[in-house]
């Protein structure tokens, strides 16, 4: 068995790892933890991005519907005025 001495970054005191397997396992666990943290952060970022995209899509759809409704209302108004003008002309022709 080989003994290793390394400095603990948190305390600056030497710590002893008495077995290469333990040392490797500690490094493996640290890497695994860092990867997990990184993956969790990336998943959170992706979820946030998707929520923003969904919100933007919904806003765009609402704006499109508003525009469409306004266009239909304007067309209906124009049609009403055409009918009113036609009615006015026919009343004038009848002499009323």
Query: Residue 1: its pLDDT value, please?
Result: 45
pTM of the model: 0.54
Contact 13, 7 (CB under 8 A): yes
Residue 41 domain-assigned (yes or no): yes
Residue 78 belongs to some domain of the structure? no
Number of domains in the chain: 1
Q: Is residue 93 part of a domain?
A: no
Query: Is residue 26's pLDDT more than 80?
Result: yes
Q: Which two tokens stand for residue 29?
A: 């666990």
Q: Could you tell me if residue 33 is inside a domain?
A: yes
Using one digit for the tens of pLDDT, what is the confidence trace for 46-95? 999 999 999 999 999 999 999 999 999 999 999 999 999 999 999 888 87
Domain of 25? Answer: 4-71
CA distance 22 to 4: 11
- Residue 32 domain-assigned (yes or no): yes
CB-based contact 17:23 (threshold 8 Å): yes
CA distance 61 to 58: 5
**What are the strands, taking DSSP E only, across 10-74?**
14-17
């Amino acid at each position: 068995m080989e003994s290793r001495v390394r400095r603990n970054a948190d305390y600056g005191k030497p710590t002893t790892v008495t077995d290469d397997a333990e040392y490797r396992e500690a490094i493996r666990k640290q890497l695994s933890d860092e990867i997990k943290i990184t993956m969790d952060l990336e998943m959170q970022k992706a979820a946030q991005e998707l929520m923003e995209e969904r919100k933007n899509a919904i806003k765009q759809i609402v704006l499109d519907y508003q525009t469409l409704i306004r266009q239909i209302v304007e067309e209906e108004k124009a049609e009403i005025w055409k009918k009113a003008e036609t009615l006015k002309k026919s009343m004038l022709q009848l002499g009323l």
